[in-house]
Structure 1
Amino acid sequence: MDYFDVVIVGGGPIGIACGLEAQKNGLSYVIIEKGPIVNSLFNYPVNMQFFSSSDLLEIDNIPFISNEAKPKRNEALEYYRRIVTNNALKINLFETVENVKKVDSGFEVQTNKQTYGASYTIIATGFYDIPNLLDIPGEDLDKVSHYYKDPHFYASQKLAVIGASNSAIDAALECYRKGAEVTLIIREPEVGQRVKYWVRPDIINRIEEGSIKAYFNSNVKEILPHTILVDTPEGTIELENDFVLALTGYQPNFGFLEKLGVQLSDDGKRLPQYNKETMETNVEGLYLAGVICGGMETHKWFIENSRIHAPMIMNSILAKK
């Protein structure tokens, strides 16, 4: 069994930042990522543009140069990939962590390929793997997806987009411009206030001119093979439909955290317990980094405000050693 000072679970930007800090401080480490480098970013929509400017997405003061002030997905993939390769970071890709056990000497981290020993473990797994389900009949039909990739797929189709956040609004606009007949179903009375400020006027104008149909204060009641049933303030209506994008958000793997012994708040936010000075959880030697720290409040932590977690954690580990 290979043994490391630190095992980092998750190879996204914050997991990479933790690896860089461990390497700079002479700690042995390995990053374990279940997919390619920055797997979550890789699975973002192909045309996605970040809300943050490129300088706020930088880690370890490594410059991020993009064509526009706010970089796009492909530029971010290139940036983080080059950091990994140029710094020869030890990262094991396409390997899934199945269990983390606390033992006398630290931790045993079991994956689908092998078991690692570690004095300390960092969980930096983000939140993009588990969608918030609608829990309605028909949600398991093939025409329903909780992830959006490319607008070309929906050209000339009747597409229902459920949600009012950035992901839903981006998908609605892109697919409309590729020739889809787009209908937005939004449970709130308006488009989300957190939608990117340069995008929100666009979607509002498209709705007002009738290019995109929107039902506010509404919920999808049932998804059928060729239609959807929508509860609206005027009653239930049935709409012809080819595809549904249920972009209602995502959540961290709370079951995994609980299995590790991390205490979660019982107020609905499911906030994990950790020391805000060190990022260490109630389990000694187990740390959290990145968006996973926000529980259900996934909008609270981003790359730009959680990159500081890496040096905080490493300072704590060095102090213990």
Structure 2
Amino acid sequence: MELIIIGGGPIGIACGLEAKKKGIPYVIIEKGTIVNSLFNYPVNMQFFSSSERLEIDEIPFISKEAKPKRNEALEYYRRIVTSNKLNIHLFEEVSEIAKEEETFTVQTDKASYSAKNVIIATGFYDLPNPLGVRGEDLPKVSHYYKDPHYYASQKLAVIGASNSAVDAALECWRKGAEVSMIIRGPEVGQRVKYWVRPDILNRIEEGSITAYYNSTVTEIRENELIIDTPEGERTLENDFVLALTGYQPNFDFLEAAGIRLSDDPKRLPDYNPETMETNIKGLYLAGVICGGMETHKWFIENSREHAQLILRHIVAKQKDPASV
């Protein structure tokens, strides 16, 4: 086989479409369902980007509003996969990438594959940033938010001030939860969706949602939450905690494959931005995983072109291996 694509999200799908157009034999390997990360987004989530910015391969994305919702995105990407009959293996997890001479071996929990080229397009949604506090492993703590109904009539603490945290706080409050937000900085994040930020600020100002600014969680207990605030330690009654503090790529997986990462906190992977090829010849990165810890840098709208860059380079190598 010529190409293995690891990750069946929008960018992995874009790479599959580009490979198919160029006649490159390929397979997409995805550990979950089609666009698994999007599937695990909150049920009512609305994208910051407009539908045309989420399009791949110039396939029109029609949505009811300018900014589509999760269910519309799932329909869009699923139809692309099925109508184009992409070669995708679902619910199959890659455990290892190894290279011997000019051939990669990709081992999964179901099979072993060989290919001349590999694209890693796995995103960063699977590994949440840990709080690193006692009680984080209690069943009442989650790093993922799905449906507000679950928290109705409960004392809910939302940790964070990003889009995901603000959406969760507002939705859960509107379904009857008693919501407190624990915010490390002095304000709600400036990158919060512009039509949502005034809503959360107004709810905080009127006292419907309690916000603790410049505060951190120091311990999570069965029925309580201990936080450090500028006024000193506070103990909050608590039933559930949503620790929506962001996510990070699987750096161990990248390093095990031989990809160099920067020594600074950004942990940027080593790749050529003109071809997306890493320091390992034939091993490419695509999508948000290129940003290391700068997970806000890459999105669908500005990384969909990675597919064209990569496949153009692969085709050039086929035509003249000595020239690239």
Query: 1:267 offset after TM fit, Å?
Result: 1.1
Which residues of structure 1 form unaligned runs of 5+? none
Query: 1:105 offset after TM fit, Å?
Result: 3.3
Once the two structures are superposed, the pairs formed by residues 258-277 of structure 1 within 5 Å of their partners are 258-277=255-274
Paired letter, 1:209: E
So what's the TM-score if we normalise by structure 2? 0.98
Q: Which residue of 1 aligns with 2:180?
A: 183
Paired letter, 2:305: I
Query: 1:195 offset after TM fit, Å?
Result: 0.3
Query: 1:103 offset after TM fit, Å?
Result: 1.5
Aligned mates of 2:2, 2:44 — CA distance in 1: 39
Aligned mates of 2:74, 2:115 — CA distance in 1: 29
Aligned mates of 1:206, 1:6 — CA distance in 2: 51
Q: Which residue of 2 aligns with 1:302?
A: 299
Aligned mates of 2:203, 2:288 — CA distance in 1: 32
Aligned mates of 2:102, 2:266 — CA distance in 1: 33
Paired letter, 1:178: K
Corresponding position: 1:13 with 2:35: no
Query: 1:160 offset after TM fit, Å?
Result: 0.1
Paired letter, 2:65: E
Corresponding position: 1:246 with 2:271: no
Root-mean-square deviation over aligned CA pairs: 0.4
Aligned mates of 1:202, 1:228 — CA distance in 2: 26
Q: Secondary structure at the match of 1:179?
A: coil
Deviations 1:20-62, CA, capped at 9 Å, x for gaps: 0000000000000000000000000000000000000000000
Q: Secondary structure at the match of 1:48?
A: coil
Aligned mates of 1:222, 1:269 — CA distance in 2: 27
1:56 corresponds, among 41, 53, 63, to: 53
Corresponding position: 1:193 with 2:175: no
Paired letter, 1:34: K
Corresponding position: 1:221 with 2:218: yes
Aligned mates of 2:2, 2:80 — CA distance in 1: 21
Aligned mates of 2:275, 2:173 — CA distance in 1: 46
Paired letter, 2:311: M
Aligned mates of 1:204, 1:159 — CA distance in 2: 18
Q: Which residue of 2 aligns with 1:233?
A: 230
Q: Secondary structure at the match of 1:67?
A: coil
Once the two structures are superposed, the pairs formed by residues 135-214 of structure 1 within 5 Å of their partners are 135-214=132-211
So what's the TM-score if we normalise by structure 1? 0.99
1:288 corresponds, among 280, 285, 289, to: 285
Aligned mates of 2:51, 2:96 — CA distance in 1: 35
Corresponding position: 1:120 with 2:117: yes
Paired letter, 1:156: S
Aligned mates of 2:100, 2:57 — CA distance in 1: 32
Query: 1:156 offset after TM fit, Å?
Result: 0.3
Corresponding position: 1:38 with 2:32: no
Q: How many residues align?
A: 318
Aligned mates of 1:194, 1:264 — CA distance in 2: 27
Q: Percent identity?
A: 75
Q: Secondary structure at the match of 2:34?
A: coil
Query: 1:106 offset after TM fit, Å?
Result: 1.7
Deviations 1:282-307, CA, capped at 9 Å, x for gaps: 00000000000000000000000000
Paired letter, 1:269: K
Which residues of structure 2 form unaligned runs of 5+? 319-324
Corresponding position: 1:107 with 2:108: no
Structure 1 segments (4+ residues) deviating >2 Å: none
Q: Which residue of 1 aligns with 2:67?
A: 70
